[in-house]
């Protein structure tokens, strides 16, 4: 009822959650309670109990270093093999 809306109001926003990614772009969210005896109004701009936004975590994302040779070629001419390696600059490289 109209009276219920008069008795209810949006409370303070809770703090933002942590960014969803450990590095780079992710998302964060926050909520706020409906205070009072009735239901709060969801119909106006900026009304609601939930917000989500993009966030940027300043931690550098892990990256693979360029490939580098670690042993000489197995032949002096034609096709052979040479050991190559790369390392992860950071923690948790994929691939």
Q: pTM surpassing 0.85?
A: no
Look at the block and give the residue holding tokens 């994929």: 94
What are 37-94's pLDDT values in tens digits?
Answer: 888 888 777 778 999 999 998 888 899 999 999 999 999 999 999 999 999 998 888 8
Give every CB contact of residue 79 below 8 A, 6+ residues apart in sequence: none
What the chain holds in terms of domains, given with CATH numbers, is 1-59 (2.20.100.10), 62-95 (no CATH)
| Model pLDDT, residue 5 | 52
In this predicted model, which residue has the larger pLDDT, 33 or 41? 33
**DSSP state, 28?**
E
Beta-carbon contacts of residue 5 (< 8 Å; ≥ 6 apart): 38, 39, 40, 41
60 touches 33 (CB < 8 A):
no
- The closest of 53, 49, 51, 50 to 19, measured between CA atoms, is 53
């Amino acid at each position: 009822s109209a009276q219920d809306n008069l008795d209810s109001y949006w409370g303070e926003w809770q703090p933002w959650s942590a960014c969803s990614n450990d590095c780079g772009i992710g998302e964060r969210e926050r909520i706020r309670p409906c205070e009072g005896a009735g239901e709060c109004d969801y119909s106006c701009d900026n009304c609601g109990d939930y917000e989500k936004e993009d966030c940027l975590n300043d931690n550098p994302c892990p990256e693979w270093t360029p490939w580098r040779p670690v042993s000489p070629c197995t032949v002096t001419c034609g096709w052979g093999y040479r050991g190559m390696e790369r390392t992860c600059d950071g923690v948790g490289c994929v691939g």
